[in-house]
Amino acid sequence: MLPMGGTDGGGTDGVVRGDRAALAWRQFVDLPEDRVDRQPMRGGGGRLVMVFDGRLDNRAELLARLGRTGPEAASMPDGRIALRCFEAAGRDALGWFCGAFALALFDEGEDRLLLARDALGMRPLVYHLARDFLRFATVPRGLFADPAVPRALDPVALARHSIRWRVAADRTIYQDIQALPPGCFLEMQAGRVVVDHHWRPDHVAPLRFARTDDYAEGLRAVLETAVAAQTRSARGVASQLSGGLDSSAVTALAAGVLAARNDVLDAYTAAPPEGTPPVHPLLRHDESGVAAETAARFPNIRHHVIRETPALELELFDRIAAGADLPPVNAMNMPWFDDIARAAGRRGAGVLLHAGYGNLTISAEGFEGLADMVLRGRFLALARHGWRLRDLNRIERRLLVAETAMAVRRRLPVPAGLRRRIGRRVLENASAALRPEALPDGGLDGLAKAAVWRWPGADRLADGGRRVAAFANNDLAFLTFYYEASCGLSLRDPTADRRVAEYCWGLPPEAFLAGGTPRGLIRRAMAGLLPPAVVENRRQGAQAVTWRRQMSAARDEILREIDALAACPDTAGLFDIERLKVLAAEIDGPDESREMMIALQVTLTQALNVGRFARRFSGSNQTGREDAAKAGD
């Protein structure tokens, strides 16, 4: 696997070439054991050759299973442990691993290649298959180093990305470049290629406890285990800290783990400029004060508030897209997150903990549990929970209706015609900036049929597979690679730990409504550890509060970029340029409706983000200003 090099100059790269396969590896020093890591590794009496990217978060369990003890075992690199597991159990060893990893294992004796990714897809792995020749790499750029690999964008994937519909997990935004999906392996032998699952969500065991408090105690225990494992670092540890439950829980538990080691934790909070007025009575626009309350509970936390930048910097999209090999999906949130990541890197952190997937695991609202009660005929339980939820605020009521309806729709057969009408309404709103000619055969329906990849059996989970589906189609793995390569920072999310996810997905849906409160499970689990301002809070935190002010400050640059998109044949054929100009004119307009907010934040911003990526990929770096200058000549 050939990622870009890390910032630690002490790494050692390696290549093994044979008659049937070649494996290459470039070192990034992330973990203490990485300093002695040397790859590619040989094992199995010289028969096996392996490269390993990532980490194993259950090292102690694996070493015990292998019967390895002593100082040599304690300092063994994670990749070497993985290789020893393969020697002991073959491909079945994949089921032993918990962590974020991608690997390639070649068995010279059997002429068989194995590629694999971790259960939830936290590390990337892509490949190109042409006849009986397979090329693979960490990110597509590694494949493009070979001139035999086609270098072209996939128009359907690009259109989906333009409306923030993620590309399916087995595809990329490039033609003929495939991604190995999460929890999967690829095996190639004698010219035959098989892709299958080593982990599936329907293997998650249901959990039922006698006491409500047992669910909360179990959650806190498994989350603390995940946090402790993910604080292992060759350098310092930092965390992203908002006023919300997820990041506060991760930060608080990390502070406890690091205090036991006499280490400090740098916690970073993004906030608008001081004096920014509130945006909505049910939203917390500045969470720095609440975050400070959490930080103050732990003497080893150093709290840093990062104020949002005054203008939207379009070049940031370019840097991320160039490093991650795809444009970011949530473009408006990237400026403040990038500021935090770079501040942490400058202060010497090697790890940035966050909780991006918390609402899919530890802090699910629990509203889908009401749908489960309806479908199972548990009307007394429904009435009891409904009475407890009588004090929901307006935003929570909207979530209740939306999530309950979604859960019912997932569990009941919906007529195809109705499903198409629902999908068309969503697409018509989302695809307002796309030209009709840019859509695949079948128009909007064709774009919808380019469906997300799904794990088989996900619909058997208690929530109908809604939460696990988000893991199947995410771009965080590529974003993680970008920050490792650009500033030596490893992004880690303990709420996406396999053990945490399996615990949460195995619970009955109503467990998350403990005490009759949305997100009741995590509230009970963190009671006493976090301040009441976090545990009892029912308002949501607002992100990128000054987004419209930032767009206004960058309005001239936005207009120039729209001109550049019009001048590039690839992007002019994709986007409705006149629609983008109309939206740009509304940046400083009086319309503050929700529809206009979505049009500017999503439609316009994502078009600029994806358009710049496509334009630069095609080699068209010409700006509207350069066009005007040439016209004047």
Q: Which residues are annotated as a binding site?
A: 78
C-alpha closest to that of 374 among 418, 411, 415? 411
Binding residues for L-glutamine: 78
C-alpha closest to that of 560 among 597, 602, 612, 512? 612
Amino acid at 394: R
What is the rounded distance in angstroms from the CA atom of residue 64 to the CA atom of residue 488? 31
Residues 36, 71: contact at Cβ < 8 Å?
no
* DSSP code of residue 599: I
Residue reference for tokens 């619970």: 507
* DSSP code of residue 460: G
C-alpha closest to that of 570 among 83, 162, 41, 66? 162
What is the rounded distance in angstroms from the CA atom of residue 311 to the CA atom of residue 553? 5
Region of residue 408 (phi > 0: left; psi between -120 and 50: alpha; otherwise: beta)? alpha
Q: Which residues contact 44 (CB under 8 A, 6 or more apart)?
A: 86, 87, 107, 109
End-to-end CA distance of the chain: 49
Chain mean position to CA 387: 36
Residues 569, 623: contact at Cβ < 8 Å?
no
Three-state DSSP at 563 gives helix
What is the rounded distance in angstroms from the CA atom of residue 309 to the CA atom of residue 392? 34
Chain mean position to CA 497: 12
Q: Which residues contact 487 (CB under 8 A, 6 or more apart)?
A: 7, 341, 342, 345
Q: Which residues contact 441 (CB under 8 A, 6 or more apart)?
A: none
C-alpha closest to that of 194 among 110, 134, 123, 108? 134
Q: Which residues contact 162 (CB under 8 A, 6 or more apart)?
A: 431, 433, 434, 574, 575, 606, 607, 610, 611
C-alpha closest to that of 546 among 335, 239, 394, 354? 335
Dihedral, 328, 333, 335, 336 alpha carbons, nearest 10: -140
Helices (H), 42-111: 59-66, 70-74, 78-89
> Cα–Cα distances in Å, from 374 out to 369, 383, 458, 520?
9, 10, 20, 20
* DSSP code of residue 331: G
